[in-house]
Structure 1
Amino acid sequence: MKYTEYDFNEKTILITGAAGFIGSNLCFYFQNNYPMAKIIALDSFRSGETLSNGNLKSFGHYKNLLGFKGTVISGDINDKELLNQIDEDYDFDFIFHEAAISDTTASEQDLMVKTNVNAYEDLLKMAINHNANMIYASSAATYGDAASPQTVGNENPGNVYGFSKLMMDNITYDYLKKDLDISIVGLRYFNVYGPREYYKNKTASTVIQFGHQILAGNTPKLFEGSDKILRDFIYIEDVIQANIKAATPKKSGIYNVGTGKARSFQDIADILQKELGTNLGTNYIPNPYIGQYQFHTEANIEDTKTYLEYAPKYEMEDGIKDYISEIKRIYEVEVK
């Protein structure tokens, strides 16, 4: 499905974080819909390097790009020499910037700010140099424990990740004061789930984690009161839609990308069991994060609808139904 009448054929598109969850889905969206587009996929790819919390520094995985026919570059967006070389070698029309240290539990504040904030400005300068529209991943983490519906302008980040994304947005606002010939759009993703997220390991969505628990014959584990813990869960196809619409927006700015509807973790477990034909019940465990846990997120998407002409198409039931065959495939290939 094409999400815009704009023709990306013959355009050169840089996608950072291209071996990650959202970046790889963007790569295949352009490849499948605009075969004459030139796609440059930049990712640091994973190594054995970990953060202090034990999680991988990079989640990029080659398997997310199996079947991709564009140009793949392995490199770190903090490498200024690499960015300068890419700047010289290509003439970009669009930059989709998905690369980041996205682990919300990471304590390396220096690396988080360097990677998410400083490298973003370097890439933004590249976009301006190439007269290329910039679309980048901000985050609902900018809101922290702000009341629902979360609305742009009412931020309260509760960790360094959310802080770094808010600083990216502040850079955007500063550049938008200038007389630029490009558009700049920051997209604040809420709780995204869907194909190609598995290699995020423990940071993958509860949808695939619950799905694999159920396929293993285990009762899904939920925190007590999970029917009252609500999140704005958004299927990857709607996130891709938002990115494509953001490439040629009516207005530059920062926009929420969610469904505008809060759903519970209990809903996820129940829908999965229905789709998988199981009746394992639910195993409730104490919530150790009381006092530091968001109990309700819901994106205010009115501006997103107005200025990006974005309209979410997937209810949770639709998204999980569409995703279920991939959850099963990953279980058979990677988990079982």
Structure 2
Amino acid sequence: MRVLITGGAGFIGSNIAFALQDEYPDAKVYILDNFSSGHFKNLIGFKGEVITGDIRDKALWDELRKRLSFDVVYHEAAITDTTVTDQKLMMEVNADSFRYILDSALEWNAKVIYASSAGVYGNTPPPMVEDRGLEPENVYGFSKLMMDHIAQDYMERYPELRIVGFRYFNVYGPRESYKGKTASMIYQLAVKMMHKQRPRIFKWGEQKRDFVYIKDVVKANLLALEKELSGIFNIATGVARSFNEIIDILNRELGTNLETEYFDCPYDFYQEHTQADISRARKELGYEPDFSLEEGIRDYLKYIKA
């Protein structure tokens, strides 16, 4: 099996790469990344090959089709900073380039498993279901929704092509530290509290998110590899938890008693409550999350401390 992972030096992509290396030792894994947000240290121990390039470069895809072929493409490359407001850049990177990937997959007869986002739902009432409430609040969420539309168009036109889209909710876990300010609040709060600094969150900490641990996200990606299906799926836990609860869990796990400092949210757009309906992923993929928020944070802290 030959696998290409776009954005493979990033958070989710690098975790998928190492999972494939462990679960499919005979597979040949290639990573394509422009290292704008990914980091080489996420790939220490990776035994495959790295191609440096930009997914917007059509000539790159033409060259790849000449020289290589793949059985599976994991497409994780994207602008993941939801505060970026450059609409043209966001659409070119996240949406337009997706067509190059799908056209290449058609030529290779490769399965495509790609990253969408819960950002497509905006502030519509939870629980979020895949076929409703598609009202993104920012251009990031819009670009991901347009990816889903492109994917659905290719599914209809080329039913033989297997395309699986994952609307990730709030993912956290090892190898996200190089994302900087876009790393999960769980990571940022944990590091702050480990240094005995008071946690700071938007008033009044009751905003809720469906936090999903990276190991469950990887599990979903490996299930999609084994299943012969196409579709778009929510990947989450199906349970919404507040930022105040995260701080309570961290205080308990770290043996601290740090008081929260609240401040005003500076953003015009902000999701107040995300919670996924994961019944489609359960039924069609056989996906079931293994980690509650408490279990995920407990496991993650071992990595952060190390």
Common topology (TM > 0.5): yes
Give the structure 2 partner of residue 301 of structure 1. Answer: 278
Matched, 1:170 2:149: yes
Residue in 2 that maps onto 1:38: 28
Alignment equivalent of 2:288, drawn from 290, 311, 322: 311
Which of 22, 27, 44 is equivalent to 1:66? Answer: 44
TM superposition shift of 1:265? 0.5
Residues 138, 269 of structure 2: 8 Å contact kept = no
Structure 2 Cα separation of the partners of residues 244 and 190 of structure 1: 18
Distance in 2 (alpha carbons) for counterparts of 1:225 and 1:108? 30
The one-letter code matched in structure 1 to 2:278 is I
* 2:253 counterpart of 1:275: yes
> 3-state SS of the aligned residue for 2:171?
strand
Asked if structure 2 preserves the Cα contact closer than 8 Å seen for 1:183 and 1:248, the reply is no
Residue 21 of structure 1 aligns with which residue? 11
Partners of 1:183 and 1:249 within 8 A in 2 = no
Q: Does the 8 A contact of 2:162 with 2:228 survive in 1?
A: no
Counterpart amino acid of 2:281? T
Quick one: which of 159, 172, 184 aligns to 1:193? Answer: 172
Q: CA deviation at 1:179?
A: 4.0
Q: TM-score, normalised by structure 2?
A: 0.96
Whether 1:258 aligns to 2:236 is: yes
Kindly state the Cα deviation for residue 65 of structure 1 after the two structures are TM-superposed. Answer: 0.4
Q: Which of 60, 70, 73 pairs up with 1:92?
A: 70
Q: Are the equivalent residues in 1 in contact too, given 2:33–2:52 (CA < 8 A)?
A: yes
The normalised TM-score by structure 1 is 0.88
The answer to whether the aligner puts 1:75 opposite 2:65 as a matched pair is: no
Deviation at 1:60, TM superposition (A): 0.8
Number of residues paired by the alignment?
Answer: 305
Gaps of 5+ in 2: none
Name the CA distance, whole Å, in 2 between partners of 1:70 and 1:209.
Answer: 31
Q: How does 1:145-224 map to 2 (within 5 A)?
A: 145-154=123-132, 155-224=134-203
The 1:179–1:208 alpha-carbon spacing in structure 2 relative to 1, beyond 3 Å, is closer
Q: Report the aligned-residue RMSD.
A: 1.3
Shift of 1:326: 1.5
Question: In the aligned structure 2, how far is the partner of 1:165 from the partner of 1:197?
Answer: 20
Q: Does 1:142 align with 2:132?
A: no
SS in 2 for 1:15: strand
Q: List alignment gaps of at least 5 residues for structure 1.
A: 1-10, 46-57, 330-336
Q: Separation in 2 of the partners of 1:101 and 1:212?
A: 24
Question: In 1, are the aligned partners of 2:155 and 2:161 still within 8 Å (CA)?
Answer: no
**SS across alignment from 1:177:** helix
**Aligned equivalents of 1:221, 1:326: Cα separation in 2:** 22
Alignment match of 2:227 (pick from 246, 249, 261) = 249
The CA deviation at 1:139 is 0.5
Q: Distance in 2 between matches of 1:170 and 1:72?
A: 30
Contact 1:250/1:308 (8 A) holds in 2:
no
CA contact (8 A) 1:229 1:295 kept: yes
Identity of aligned residues (%): 50
